[in-house]
Structure 1
Amino acid sequence: MCPHNPPCPAAHEPDREHARVIGRDYLLGWALLCNGTIVFDYTGSLLPDGQVLAPHRPLLAGAA
């Protein structure tokens, strides 16, 4: 359970990466979010249920 007010987005919600960071390893390049999601510096994610989300980056406007 998230102790923050307002609560962080759940791991299954689209804005899951907006949850607060509660742990980080700069050397290995990952952060643990309050909702149990692990976010990697290369933008991939690992959800608490073991689901892997491929790296994703926003597209820049006007980029070809």
Structure 2
Amino acid sequence: MCQHHPQCPTADCSDREAAHTVAHHPEQGWSLLCNGVLLFEDTGELLPDGQIIAPHRPLASGRVITAA
């Protein structure tokens, strides 16, 4: 899907959020990355294969919030 050079990280890479944004809808709270990942404003993600990545916002203390 990615046409950038060098290519953006794929959806299964740990740095997948570094891919370029191809559609941004802040009024709806999501962005589509060129690797097919839907990135939500709460930092949750939906991968192209349907896998859900729980929100992982950092707290002010440096801890990370994750869903159980």
Q: What do you get for the CA RMSD once the two structures are aligned?
A: 1.4
Between the aligned residues of both structures, percent identity stands at 54
Cross-structure match for 2:17? 17
Q: Give per-residue Cα distances to partners, 1:16-55, cap 9 Å, x unaligned.
A: 0000000011111100000000000000000000000000
**Paired residue type of 2:54:** A
Cross-structure match for 2:44? 44
Is 1:35 aligned with 2:35?
yes
Secondary structure of 1:23's partner? strand
Q: Please, what TM-score do these two structures have when normalized by structure 2? A: 0.83
Gaps of 5+ in 2: 64-68
- Paired with 1:20 and 1:44, the residues of 2 have a C-alpha distance of 17
Alignment: residue pair count: 61
- Paired with 2:58 and 2:5, the residues of 1 have a C-alpha distance of 28
Gaps of 5+ in 1: none
4+ long deviations beyond 3 Å? none
Q: Please, what TM-score do these two structures have when normalized by structure 1? A: 0.88
